Structure 1
Amino acid sequence: MQVYQISIGAVCKLVWPHDRLIIQVLDDSTDLSTRELVQEECQKWSNKGRNIHYISRDNRNGYKAGAMKEAMDLDYVKKCDYVAIFDADHEPPPDFLLRAIPFLMHNSDIALVQARWKFVNANECIMTRIQEMSLNYHFKMEQQSGSSTMAFFGFNGTAGVWRIQAINEAEGWKERTTVEDMDLAVRASLQGWKFVYIGDLKVKSELPSSYKAYRYQQHRWSCGPANLFKKMTIDIIMAKKVSLLKKLFLLYNFFFARRIISHNVTFLFYCIVIPFSSFFPEVIIPKWGVFYIPTVITILNSIGTPRSLHLIIIWIFFENVMSLHRCKAVFIGLFEAGRVNEWVVTEKLGKALKTKQVSTAAKRSPNKFWQRCLFLELGMAVVLLICALYNFIYRSNQYFIFIFPLSLSYFLMGFGFVGTHIPAAK
């Protein structure tokens, strides 16, 4: 419940004329006690004079897209020109609107202003430090370059302000994928709208610190774009309001290279081709593929977070393990397999770890070791260990120097020795 109270309070403190600011809190929680606490927090701010509305649903139809669609259909929302969106664990600075809205007010062709995320729990564990490295690269490089060169990037789903006219022209929120934010951004871009990314406008947010939560999040972030790519390829090709260059950017750079090929290459090449080449002496992999290109990619990713440069080796092996789940999610999205529309809310611990109650519960009901085992990771670990041993004994290319640590990484993550663990309540 802490995240709701923090974000509601932060949003209510935004500096903007009261008569021009409507605050709406969407609550999809099925827990009655949580709903009561959120409603109580909203009422507290309403008593202080804020124009705040609490909206709850008795179902989760369409998940976030469904909630946003219902919210946009309300009468008082239809009278507004812009909508700022924050997830429950995001805390904007008080001057957020003063710094974001002018871009929309003075540029009629801009549909979206996106702020950057600032991670409040990056130092919680090694896993959150690694996430910070990857996401800093995403914001500092990918979002900034997309904004500067093509006036387009994928909406991050939160910490952004939309022009409602652009949402309406793009046919609103759709529930067809688990990346409704990216879906809306692509459709708005095909209508000729432009986006602006503000790198120095930072919104506090929280990283998932349990490996289970991170796996679910990465499945959604990898499966959704692949599924959207399949559904929007023809629309992008047939779009009449954007240039051929932008179509190529969307199809190749935004979707195919970054959200399809990158995940497949990382897993298939580094976790399959290199290890299994140990059994086939006739397979010769050039050094530029094994060492030079990965070195360049690693250096580029480290630029965004220089303070974590000493963790770059850990980052490499962690990302290689995660590539297994991302690659699997991409194929699920492309072939619309069973979990294609699975939406699991990413668990954020908030202040839970600092509470006495959780500490006491951890002592009374510790997690059983075998309950933390992940057999997919452990299976890959065994296979890689066999490849490493064979390479060490029979081959001279010394790939075991890479394969042994990779196998160890799969073992560590398979046995649950990553992230933060919270005991399950009895």
Structure 2
Amino acid sequence: DLVEMECHRWMSKGVNIKYEVRGNRKGYKAGALKEGLKHDYVKDCQYIAMFDADFQPESDFLLRTIPFLVHNPEIALVQTRWKFVNSDECLLTRFQEMSLDYHFKYEQEAGSSVYSFFGFNGTAGVWRISAIDDAGGWKDRTTVEDMDLAVRAMLRGWKFVYIGDIKVKSELPSTFKAYRFQQHRWSCGPANLFKKMMVEILESKKVSLWSKIHLCYDFFFVGKVAAHTVTFIYYCFAIPVSVLLPEIQIPLWGVVYVPTVITLLKALGTPSSFHLVILWVLFENVMSLHRIKAAVSGLLDAGGRVNEWVVTEKLGDANKTKPNINGSDSIKVIDVKLTEPDVKLTEPLVPKLVKKRTRFWERYHCSELFVGTCIILCGCYDVFYAKKGYYIFLFLQGIAFLVAGFGYVGTLPPSTP
């Protein structure tokens, strides 16, 4: 394949590069990384740079990241920022850019600046191999092996650094189906990891009580569970029900002022998309339904998809931009040694079935359609009976649910013959 050909090209120039392929998918990505570290030539290395198949680091990436690890032996991880090559492809990718820009600019950068814990994003980062070994290595007990390793390393006393000035090009999923799979993994995995590691975190003796509280309450409970739950219950349940029940009164500051301030602050991370803030909020409310279901299944360890890893399908737009290949291509050396080939990483683990007639409940998202219909009915009730003035929001939110339910979000995947 293309990766193998590229490796042989650099081998012919005398570059020390290896091309490795696993014969199985045991442990998914965590298993591949664990297998990669077993090779003899890795014993001579001190650091490992990780990139997913669609990431395109600049040629000076190592020169800008490795010094942080060399000059501070307490640092285990250097995390860099993602830059998206297809953010303008559709509204779905614009919304993702707004959410991820907030995550990197405020959550990651804030955690790094105050020497607090922040999670590893699974790619575009450099790890100290001795820190990986000290933390117990890669484990495949959840679908968020990156977060799992970061938490265990933090409990061992290691520090992380986030460098927002170093940006690595990557691609966003542009189909709604692929985005839903990704968000399920990103919501279910952390909740399941929280359940499995809560006792271990509380019993750790190398971190302070404040660090334990921050990790359990702020990072896991609030950030990975409560945020989705509160968003859905408040916007998609409490406000619609308050229209039907006169006894429920939500003050104006709770309906308008506080949510507006929070939303505007979060939208500042992507000024170019500020005009889309209302649509973004409506879409995030829709996704909160999917995320809360995933988080609950992770906490309860219920359902067959808790530990299911489905690689996020992308349409290949990252290949439309030419990476900077001036100088040594040492990035590619580390990438191909420790991950699986690009072709396999872009394929879902669940084999594609032969095309057949699609049933209604498989083609559409019935939960979104049901919630959207209920919200619109509540809006109609407000117009004719309740007169509370919430109908504008209810109609907009209900339509957003219906649009997502019928699948009119993102781009359509290329048709297969």
The TM-score, its normalising length taken from structure 2, stands at 0.88
Confirm or deny that 1:191 pairs with 2:156: yes
- CA distance in 2: counterparts of 1:128 and 1:152, whole angstroms: 28
1:181 aligned to 2:146? yes
Q: Which moved more, 1:406-415 or 1:144-153?
A: 144-153
Q: 1:253 corresponds to which residue?
A: 218
Q: Which residue of 1 aligns with 2:312?
A: 346
- What is the letter of the counterpart of residue 390 of structure 1? Y
- Kindly state the Cα deviation for residue 368 of structure 1 after the two structures are TM-superposed: 8.9
1:152 Cα offset (Å): 2.2
1:330 aligns with 2:295: yes
2:96 pairs with 1:118: no
In 2, are the aligned partners of 1:144 and 1:197 still within 8 Å (CA)? yes
Instruction: Assess if the C-alpha contact under 8 Å between 2:77 and 2:161 holds in 1.
Output: yes
Q: Who is 1:393 aligned against?
A: 384
Deviations for 1:131-177, whole angstroms, at most 9, x for unmatched residues? 10000000000000111113421000000000011100100001000
2:85–2:318 CA contact under 8 A, matched in 1: no
> How big is the shift at 1:352?
9.6
The amino acid that maps onto 2:376 is L
Q: Does 2:406 correspond to 1:415? A: yes
Name whichever of 101-110 and 68-77 sits farther off: 68-77
The answer to whether the Cα contact below 8 Å between 2:54 and 2:318 also exists between their aligned partners in 1 is no
Counterpart position of 2:276? 311
The answer to which of 71-80 and 112-121 deviates more is: 71-80
The equivalent residue for 1:42 is 7
Amino acid corresponding to residue 383 of structure 1 in structure 2: C
**Which range is displaced more, 259-268 or 150-159?**
150-159
Within a 5 Å distance, the mapping from 1:8-407 to structure 2 comes to: 36-338=1-303, 339-351=305-317, 372-407=363-398
**Contact kept in structure 1, 2:79 and 2:120, CA below 8 Å:** yes
Q: Name the CA distance, whole Å, in 1 between partners of 2:358 and 2:162.
A: 45
Secondary structure, counterpart of 1:114 in structure 2: strand
Amino acid at match of 2:77: L
* Segment of structure 1 superposing worse, 253-262 or 281-290: 281-290
Deviation at 1:49, TM superposition (A): 2.5
The answer (yes or no) to whether the contact 1:131–1:207 under 8 Å persists in 2 is: yes
How far apart, in 2, do the equivalents of 1:148 and 1:267 lie? 31
Output the CA distance in 2 between the equivalents of 1:169 and 1:313.
46
Equivalent AA in structure 1 for residue 36 of structure 2:
A
**8 Å contact from structure 1 (residues 152, 196) kept in 2:** no
Deviations 1:11-31 (A, max 9, x none): xxxxxxxxxxxxxxxxxxxxx
Higher-RCO chain (CA-CA 8 Å, sequence separation at least 6): 2
Q: Quick one: distance in 2 between partners of 1:352 and 1:69?
A: 27
| Structure 2: distance between partners of 1:281 and 1:137 | 37
User: 2: distance between equivalents of 1:148 and 1:242?
Assistant: 18
Question: Residue 345 of structure 1 aligns to a residue in which SS?
Answer: coil
Over 3 Å counting, the alpha-carbon distance change for 1:99 and 1:297 in structure 2 is: same
User: Mean Cα displacement is larger for which, 391-400 or 330-339?
Assistant: 391-400
d(CA) in 2 for partners of 1:57 and 1:150? 37
Range with greater deviation from structure 2 (255-264 or 374-383)? 374-383
**CA deviation profile, 1:349-391 (whole Å, cap 9, x unmatched):** 114998xxxxxxxxxx9x9996752222112211111111112
Spell out, residue by residue over 1:300-355, the C-alpha distance to the aligned partner (whole angstroms, 9 max, x if none).
Answer: 1111101111000110101000001001001010000111112110011114998x
- Seen in structure 2, the aligned counterparts of structure 1 residues 155 and 188 have a Cα distance that, compared at 3 Å, is same
Amino acid at match of 2:96: Q
Tell whether the 8 Å contact from 2:86 to 2:317 is kept in structure 1 after alignment: no
Query: C-alpha separation between the residues in 1 aligned to 2:238 and 2:295?
Result: 19
C-alpha contact (below 8 Å) 1:151/1:196 kept by paired residues: no
Whole-angstrom distance in 2 between the partners of 1:335 and 1:324: 17
Preserved contact between residue 150 and residue 246 of structure 1 (Cα < 8 Å): no
Q: Which runs of 5+ in 1 are unaligned?
A: 1-35, 355-364
User: How far apart, CA to CA, are the structure 1 residues paired with 2:38 and 2:404?
Assistant: 44
* Distance in 2 between residues matched to 1:416 and 1:353, nearest whole Å: 26
Q: 2:359, 2:278 → 1: CA distance? A: 27
Superposed displacement of residue 42, structure 1: 2.1
User: Alpha-carbon deviation of 1:401?
Assistant: 1.4
Any idea what SS the aligned residue of 1:173 has? coil
Instruction: Name the CA distance, whole Å, in 2 between partners of 1:305 and 1:175.
Output: 34
Q: Would the aligned equivalents of 1:82 and 1:164 in 2 still touch at CA under 8 Å?
A: yes
Give the aligned CA root-mean-square deviation in angstroms.
1.8
| Residue segments in structure 2 that go unaligned for 5+ positions in a row | 321-354
1:374 counterpart letter in structure 2: H
Q: Distance in 2 between matches of 1:352 and 1:219?
A: 23
- Report the CA distance between 1:269 and its aligned residue: 1.2
SS of residue paired to 2:169 = strand
How many residues end up aligned between the 2 structures?
A: 380
8 Å contact from structure 1 (residues 190, 242) kept in 2: yes
- 1:218 and 1:113 map into 2 onto residues whose CA distance is 24
Distance 1:50 1:388 in 2: 65
Q: Please, what TM-score do these two structures have when normalized by structure 1? A: 0.86
Rounded Cα–Cα distance in structure 1 between residues aligned with 2:275 and 2:172: 20
Task: Show the counterpart of 1:3.
Answer: none
